[in-house]
Structure 1
Amino acid sequence: MTIELGIALDLSGADGDPAVLADLARRAESAGLDLVVIDDSGRQPQPGLDPWTTAVWLAGRTTHIPIAVAPATNATDPPETGQPYPSVVAKAHQSLDVLAGSRLVAAQAGWTLASPDAGIDQIRRLAEAGAPVVVPVRSAAEIARLAALVAGDGRGTGRSAAVRARRRAGIDYDGVPTSLADVAVEPGDPAYRGVTSTYLRGGAPGLVLRPRTPAEVADALAFARRHRQLPLGIRSGGHGVSGRSTNDGGLVIDVGALNGIEVLDTERRLVRIGPGATWKQVAAELDRYGWALGSGDYGGVGVGGLATAGGIGLLSRRHGLTIDRLRAVELVLADGSQVRASKADNPDLFWAVRGAGANFGVATAFEFEVSEVGQVGWAQLVLVSTDLEKSLRRYGELASGAPRDTTVFLVTGRPRQGQSVLQLYAIVDQQDPDVIVERLTPFTELGSLVQQQVVLTPYKEVMALAADVGPDGHHGMGEPVSRSAFLPALTDDFARDTTRLLRSGLVHFFELRAMGGAITDTPADETAFAHRAPAFQVTAMGTDQGRLDAAWDGLAGHFDGLYLSFDTDLRPQRLHDAFPPRVLARLRTLKRRYDPGNLFRDNFNIDPQTTEEQTR
């Protein structure tokens, strides 16, 4: 039997001497005990000694023993007041986690209090409940007595009380598959902070499973099937705006370890890439062969999410979407079976994965036919416009009318003092400097050019501008608020209405991504991504989902569909914007075949049991 044994320190009376408290806590740690509980025993504590502050101070005086604060029983505040500033309390807990590791034990998780003179029989009996046994102590001799009692007895070798105290309800932590147990991450584990947040979104999942093989992905999905009541996120790079690759209290399957990049056939330029690789890593590897694969506009994005949604990037007008270069994908389905999808194998699933992959399985490998790409012209231009409406109209003309080798994205925000800052990001897939300058010069008409950087560089260097994500992971906070749409053409009316929206202050980030060119070469019915004709993809980000939704709804007449990677509106009607009627009907039929239990439901869910009319 496992015994976790700790001590309780009373803040009242002589025991409230800070030096005595620190000495007892250090002695408990040195003796190999498992927990220090700060307790005022319902009486008035030593003046100036707050239990929470004392716990933080003791964490600084020790190195690894968990610290807990017993619930107060003599609170003078009216009970109905509760916690007036929960965000401050949460931030204090987070700060202690950063400064001292995951050592704070949540009081609500509890422990069993023994009598001060408890012997080994009583301790063993109380330990049968599975919680730490805590014995009040007042001296070093009492700590030595406790250590001697359990010397040679069964001691905890698994997660500490501090970690177990943070477990979330409804999760069978003891039932984690053996294949995943050694790398599973619980709240309170040292690695937890690195796998909870995404690039923009905060999160607090109850358990993160980190499979290293397709077989382990199947084990993770078996565990998820036993927890259908919980949210389920699939995480590759952890960058996506709309994808639910984190959650609160649910499960996350992190495929970051499946990050291999392998050349299969140099003549066909066929490569195999794991979902956990980032596009920065992919670009660096492909550059060794003089190749590239279009991949959005940021190298820190994971392969898995983008390669199943679409992939509108800075090479798209020349080489098509990322999914247009996909030749096969290996998946683990909801039932745990491993399948290969291509034009020859499971072609219907291959069709669905290219645009709606999040609904059908966990991708474990992709096979792409990549392009020969030498050095490219990479430009970052900053202009100031006093007439945003005019600048938007002119950008629309230039970007949609540019040769296929030129892709220009525009980013702006709220005008300030009558001026708008326009940031242009562009790739010209040419190696002749004169041609690059010729392609870009018309865009300098959009305003007063205040900053420019134009270089001839490998595509890998463009992707390398993304910062590496270290062991601490992303540090996103809160919930991003974003809306997306496809724009058939940038009309005068759209430029006028967009200018009005930006002046309202509801949007702090607004982006236009030029489409067209090679994107239109793939027939609309060849992939579940059916929006091949629009000239632009539009994204707007704000801080209030309801107000942004209302404003965006007012622009609906300009739009034709949306790109699901950038939209956080959870209203069911958005499904009809992402997928035209015939596409959605086909997807729903396939969903009934491949995921009838709707396990994959947290990212633009295509519910197999819902009719089209019910989601309108």
Structure 2
Amino acid sequence: MELALGIMPELSADAETLTADLARQAEAGGLDLVVVRGADADADTAGIDPWTAAVWVAGATESIGIGVVPAGASEPFAGTDPEAPVPAVVDKAWESAALLAGPRLVAGSRWVVAPAGAGRAELAALAESGLPVVVPVRDGADVARLVDIVAADGPVGGRRRTGVARALRRAGIDYDAVPASLAATAVEPGDREYLAVSSNYLRGGAPGLVLRPETPEQVADALAFARAHTHVPLGVRSGGHGVSGRSTNDGGVVVDVGRMNRVEVLDEARRLVRIGPGATWKQVAAALDPYGWALGSGDYGGVGVGGLATAGGIGLLGRAHGLTIDHLRAVELVLADGTAVRATRDDHPDLFWAVRGAGANFGVATAFEFEVDDVGEVGWAKLSLVTTDIEKSLLRFGEVATAAPRDTTVFLVTGRPRQGQSMIQLYAIVDSPDPQVVVERLTPFLDLGALVQQEAYLTRYKDIMGQAADVGPDGHHGQGEPVSRSAFLPAITPEAAHDTAELLRSGRVFFYELRPMGGAIADVPAHETAFAHRTPAFQVTAMGADQDDLDARWDRLARHFDGLYLSFDTDLRPERLHDAFPPPVLTRLRDLKRRYDPENLFRDNFNIDPRDGSDAVRASEEA
């Protein structure tokens, strides 16, 4: 049994300061608990409030558990002693302290008190109760003695966690079975790093365990652990930015490959680069820029490589250079059974086909090899326009964006109208270093409304991706669940523009985006990749606050659509698979799923169930 030790400092005239100092020493030394007790009525420190001292300790420390014993707590309340604690007041004090200290506040009597100066054997005997053992201490020397005992008794591998931290572990996860290769960096709910890894960019989360592999071998170890825990959710995370991807969860396991983020040039003559899944597109753009290269990658530099590079990658360089997956030449994966494979057009070509559009269903990518493009200075613009006729503006955007030369890609973002006016934001790249060409390409878009703000200049692609904020050590802080729907739009017809305008005027959609396709995206045959929707003119995304409401409104627009882009859709009903993948593609994917992931380990995303489609729909209806 791992020995859980705590301290009970003696109160003195400077109780808060001394107790906080000893608590910091105990926390740094790996002790579990600091208990603050009220003084006796005739003591010199009788006026010191233990609840205040406890809050002081909470502010001075980060993870150690905090217990409180009010003065006179062991005596029954008779209502005749003015110095006796009143239960209702004690309860209120507890609630107030809990608001400030959080889950670190430990209820009274959840520890055993040892005699001051107790030795290792006596402490171990008391620990047989299964409760932390608290030892009265007077100074730093007493605390140091206990720290030495804990250090000698610590675990052989991994990290030592306090009893309070272990109490926060989630049911259904065998924490003692975490692979030795991952134990030292694994994060549990009670760990200091937990808040930094629990949520992603848009989604709040409370996973039971986050594993952070740094090598393919460690990824295989993580998946072995996941195979033993199929009764809890499994998330796979690269940058943690995905809308539809479940890169966090509640009570499950997350495999976070964020530390596998190296970018290296393999062959300068071929412009062949190798990129880890945990790199962000901001990092990639910065690494490629010294060579005069770029790789199209969505519209935000904070997105991780792994998720986007296995789904498609409809970006601001798309019409000029195609999808991100169109540049993929090889991918290294760890499959559900732990096997490491390298997939190319010649080796595992079926898997290479599937990864380019449905990759999250087949394995954890550990490296990508891309053939990137020569890209110099480009025209970059952010334009804001106001229109009183959003229907007319959408129709005009469809005409202009479709007719634009392929060197021009302009994304449109709008939302709820305000007082009869709609704000339109345009984000544009013109792949040309010539200012006259840039102006010529962008001028037709000014017909969408009254221009109220503009920003246009020549720059490098790395500077566009570099506008994304860095994710610091505190991680993402998403909350709730994103609600989003996606589709491919063959054309913006008058009917489609009208129905879209009605959707926006409903006020139920706060974000609406059109991403033009065509150009180089349409050059690739539909059968070349699992991403089969090569001919639509636009990809469209809408975000709202209520999934059922958005689904109902989106369904009324379905007659205008031809498929969906799975990265931006949170409607995970099995029938959505038929929108994401045409029937021959879905049949082929399901056959491959049966071969590479027959037990459906990779299920908590846009899932391709290895069973046939009718079984999947039936199971959803019965759930």
AA matched with 2:59: G
Give the secondary-structure state (helix, strand or coil) at the position aligned to 1:356.
Answer: helix
- Residue 433 and residue 62 in structure 1: after superposition, are their counterparts in 2 closer, same or farther (change >3 A)? closer
Supply the distance in 2 between the matched residues of 1:148 and 1:269 (Cα, whole angstroms).
60
Q: Is the 8 A contact 1:105 1:165 kept in 2?
A: no
Structure 1 30/580 Cα, relative in aligned 2: closer, same or farther at 3 Å?
Answer: closer
Quote how far apart the aligned CAs of 1:191 are: 2.2
Q: Is the CA contact (8 Å cut-off) linking 2:67 and 2:106 kept in structure 1?
A: yes
CA contact (8 A) 2:261 2:278 kept: yes
The aligned amino acid for 1:6 is: G
CA distance in 1, matches of 2:279, 2:381: 26
* Matched AA of 2:33: L
> What residue identity is the alignment partner of 1:335?
D
Q: 1:589 corresponds to which letter in structure 2?
A: D
State the partner residue of 1:219: 221
CA distance in structure 1 between the aligned counterparts of 2:584 and 2:224, rounded to whole angstroms: 32
Work out which of the residue numbers 370, 373, 376 in structure 2 matches 1:374: 376
Shift of 1:249: 1.4
CA deviation after TM superposition for structure 1 residue 480, in Å: 1.1
9, 33, 36: which one pairs with 1:35?
33
Q: Which amino acid aligns with 2:556?
A: G
**Residue 592 (1) aligns with residue 594 (2):** yes
User: Is the 2:114–2:123 contact (alpha carbons within 8 Å) kept by the matching residues of 1?
Assistant: no
1: CA distance, partners of 2:577 / 2:8: 55
- Aligned to 1:611, which of 607, 610, 613? 613
Deviation at 1:496, TM superposition (A): 1.1
CA distance in 1, matches of 2:301, 2:231: 35
The verdict on how the C-alpha distance between 1:581 and 1:146 changes in structure 2, with shifts beyond 3 A counting, is same
Partner of 1:59: 58
Give the deviation of 1:113 after TM superposition: 2.3
In the other structure, the counterpart of 1:423 is: 425
Q: Return 5+ residue gaps in structure 1 as ranges.
A: 98-102
Contact 1:112 / 1:126 at 8 angstroms: preserved in 2? Answer: no
Separation in 1, partners of 2:450, 2:474: 41
Instruction: Please report how far the alpha carbon of residue 64 of structure 1 lies from its aligned counterpart in structure 2 after TM superposition.
Output: 6.9
Q: TM-score, normalised by structure 2?
A: 0.86
The CA deviation at 1:590 is 0.4
Q: Measure, in 1, the Cα distance between the counterparts of 2:63 and 2:475.
A: 23
Amino acid at match of 2:465: M
Shift of 1:199: 1.4
Give distance in 2, aligned partners of 1:257 and 1:583: 33
Deviation at 1:551, TM superposition (A): 1.1
Task: Give the one of 292, 295, 299 matched to 1:293.
Answer: 295
Partner of 2:403: 401
**SS of the residue 1:351 aligns to:** helix
2:285 match: secondary structure: helix
Q: What is the identity percentage for the equivalent residue pairs of Structure 1 and Structure 2?
A: 67
- The equivalent residue for 2:112 is 113
> Compared with structure 1, are the counterparts of its residues 61 and 404 closer, same or farther at alpha carbon in structure 2 (3 Å cutoff)?
closer
CA 1:169/1:55 → structure 2, altered by over 3 Å: closer, same or farther? Answer: farther
- Out of 346, 351, 354, the residue aligned to residue 352 of structure 1 is 354
Alignment counterpart, residue 432 of structure 1, candidates 434, 438, 442: 434
Q: In angstroms, what is the RMSD of aligned CA positions?
A: 3.2
Deviations for 1:420-446, whole angstroms, at most 9, x for unmatched residues? Answer: 110000111112211111110010011
Give the counterpart letter for 1:478 in structure 2: G
- Provide the C-alpha distance between the structure 1 equivalents of 2:327 and 2:252, rounded to a whole number of angstroms: 34
Q: 2:182 aligns with which of 168, 180, 183?
A: 180
CA contact (8 A) 1:111 1:133 kept: no
**One of 193, 196, 219 as aligned partner of 1:194:** 196
CA displacement 1:480-513 (0-9 Å, x = unmatched)? 1111111111111111111111111111111000
Alpha carbons 1:351, 1:528 under 8 Å: kept: yes
> Which range is displaced more, 200-209 or 406-415?
200-209
Question: Hey, what's the Cα distance between the residues in 2 that align with 1:255 and 1:447?
Answer: 44
Q: Counterpart in 1 of 2:446?
A: 444
CA contact (8 A) 1:481 1:543 kept: yes
Helix, strand or coil at the partner of 1:288: helix
What's the offset of the Cα at 1:56?
A: 2.6
Equivalent position amino acid for 2:57 in 1:
L
Partners of 2:266 and 2:183 lie apart in 1 by 33
Per the TM alignment, residue 341 of structure 1 is displaced from its structure 2 partner at its CA by 0.7
2:542 to 537, 540, 543: 540
- Offset at residue 29 of structure 1 (A): 5.6
> In the alignment, residue 212 of structure 2 is paired with which amino acid?
R
Larger mean CA deviation between 572-581 and 23-32 belongs to 23-32
Structure 1 residues 327-336 or 170-179, which shifts more? 170-179
Matches of 2:255 and 2:347 in 1, distance apart?
26
**Structure 2 matches for 1:221-300, cutoff 5 A?**
221-300=223-302
1:94-153 CA deviation, whole Å, 9 max, x = no partner?
A: xx58xxxxx825659x94424668955553123245542235x5x849x98897689657
What is the CA-CA distance between 1:215 and the residue it aligns to?
Answer: 0.8
Q: Sort the Cα spacing of 1:278 and 1:62 in 2 relative to 1 into closer, same or farther, 3 A.
A: closer
- Cα deviation code 1:36-94 (max 9, x no counterpart): 235799xxxx999695x6533322356874324689999978xxxx99xx9x999x47x
Residue 289 of structure 1, CA deviation: 1.4
The amino acid that maps onto 1:266 is E
> Matched residues in 2 for 1:474 and 1:111: separation?
34
TM-score scaled by length of structure 1: 0.87
Partner Cα distance (1:519, 1:133) in 2: 65
Aligned-partner Cα distance in 2 for 1:516–1:149: 68
Give yes or no for contact 2:485–2:541 (8 Å, CA) kept in 1: yes
Q: Which has the higher mean CA deviation after the structures are superposed, 161-170 or 399-408?
A: 161-170
Deviates more, 1:294-303 or 1:569-578: 569-578
Instruction: Give 1:126's aligned residue.
Output: 126
The residue aligned with 1:554 is 556
Structure 1 residues 433 and 21: CA distance shift in structure 2, 3 A: closer
Determine the C-alpha separation between the residues in 2 that align with 1:89 and 1:433.
62
- The CA distance in 1 between the partners of 2:551 and 2:454, in whole Å, is 35
Letter in 2 for 1:343: R
Q: Which of the numbers 293, 311, 318 marks the counterpart of 2:320?
A: 318
Q: Distance in 1 between matches of 2:97 and 2:237?
A: 29
Point out the more displaced range, 1-10 or 175-184: 1-10
Superposition deviation, residue 226 in structure 1: 1.2
Tell me which residue corresponds to 1:207: 209
Q: Give deviations 1:233-283, integer Å, cap 9, x for gaps.
A: 111111111111111111111111111112112222111111111111111
Residue correspondences, number: 587
Q: Hey, what's the Cα distance between the residues in 1 that align with 2:559 and 2:13?
A: 68
**SS class of match (1:308):** coil
Distance 1:505 1:128, change over 3 A: same
* Residues 26/314 of structure 1: CA separation in 2 closer, same or farther (3 Å cut): closer
Structure 1 residues 599 and 36: CA distance shift in structure 2, 3 A: same
Residue 104 of structure 2 corresponds to 104
Structural mapping, 1:503-514, within 5 Å = 503-514=505-516
User: Could you tell me which amino acid in structure 2 is paired with residue 3 of structure 1?
Assistant: L
Given that 2:50 and 2:68 are in contact with CA atoms closer than 8 Å, whether structure 1 keeps it comes out as no
* Letter matched to residue 134 of structure 1: V
* CA shift in 2, pair 1:144/1:180, >3 Å: closer
- Verify the 8 A CA contact 1:38 1:70 in the aligned structure 2: yes
Superposed CA deviations along residues 567-597 of structure 1, whole A, max 9, x for unmatched, are 1112222122111111111111100100011
CA distance in 2, matches of 1:267, 1:150: 58
The change in CA–CA distance for 1:428 and 1:610 in structure 2 (over 3 A counts) is same
**Distance in 2 separating the partners of 1:356 and 1:442:** 36
CA 1:505 to 1:184, structure 2 compared with 1: closer, same or farther past 3 Å? same
Q: Name which of 579, 582, 586 aligns with 2:581.
A: 579
| Structure 1 counterpart SS, 2:236 | strand
Secondary structure of the corresponding residue to residue 417 of structure 2: coil
| Partner Cα separation in structure 1 for residue 418 and residue 315 of structure 2 | 29
In the alignment, the residues of structure 1 paired with residue 147 and residue 516 of structure 2 have an alpha-carbon distance, to the nearest angstrom, of: 69
Structure 2 equivalent of residue 100 of structure 1: none
Change in Cα spacing, 1:145 to 1:398, as seen in structure 2 (3 Å) is: closer
Letter in 1 for 2:381: A
Pair 1:29–1:443, CA change in 2 (3 A) = closer
- The verdict on how the C-alpha distance between 1:37 and 1:546 changes in structure 2, with shifts beyond 3 A counting, is farther
For residue 167 of structure 1, report the CA deviation from its aligned partner: 1.7
